[in-house]
Amino acid sequence: METLFLLAELFSRFFLVGLFSVGGGLATLPFLQDMGETTGWFGAAEISNMIAISESTPGPMGINMASYIGYQIAGIPGTILASIGLVTPSVVIIIIISNFLKKFRDSKYVNNAFYGLRAASVGLIAAAFYSVASLALFNSEVFSQTGSFFSAINYKSLILAAAVFVCTKFFKKLHPIFLIILSAVIGILLKF
């Protein structure tokens, strides 16, 4: 009975996180910190562990974080309930929005709004590109120590990124999964 209560609490707490965190994976972080403090389920050290693992495993970060915490609290059932709790609010909301869009697809206002939205969305992709690129290709620690921009560039990664980009242009049949696995192997062999 106690485990049932625990699982119900886990589900409903993650449901709330899913309902209020707007803007994807990392936006859930402040809510998770708050959850750790109010319930005493996990502390700051576990949170930083959780971020590291979520970033180094496949899948959406928010789901990875929920799965990890769910496991720490209540084992495998906890993993499943925390993840499902997190996604339930957004599934409901997206279905409502889908129906709205279907109804108003021909509306001038909706189409004009999307004309602006799409440009903003591509702008956000550019910003995401900047943050993944600066993380992967640039060593900010070296930069702050030496002050030299060029010695802080990670040339090995830069060459690999350029090679993968060329592959996406000239060998369009190559699947992204193949390129990711190949790059992981190169990373292991050349000690990236």
Does residue 45 touch another protein according to CB under 8 A?
A: no
Cβ-contact 25, 99 below 8 angstroms: no
Helix (H) or strand (E) holding 191: none
Closest CA to 19 of 37, 34, 5, 31: 31
Q: Select the residue interacting with another protein from 3, 12, 39, 112 (CB under 8 A).
A: 112
Strand partners, 153: 138
Query: Among residues 124, 146, 149, 171, which is the contact residue for another protein, using CB under 8 A?
Result: 124
**In this chain, which of 3, 12, 39, 121 binds another protein, going by CB under 8 A?**
121
Of residues 8 and 96, the one with the C-beta less far from another protein:
96
- Does residue 152 touch another protein according to CB under 8 A? no
Query: How big is the site for another protein, counted in residues (CB under 8 A)?
Result: 98
The number of CA neighbours under 13 Å toward the Cβ of 81 is 20
Q: Which of these ranges, 1-9, 35-43, 92-100, 143-151, lies near another protein under the rule CB under 8 A?
A: 92-100
Among 84, 142, 152, 153, binds another protein (CB under 8 A): 84
Print the binding letters for residues 126-145 with another protein: x by CB under 8 A, - otherwise. xxxxxxxx-xxx--------
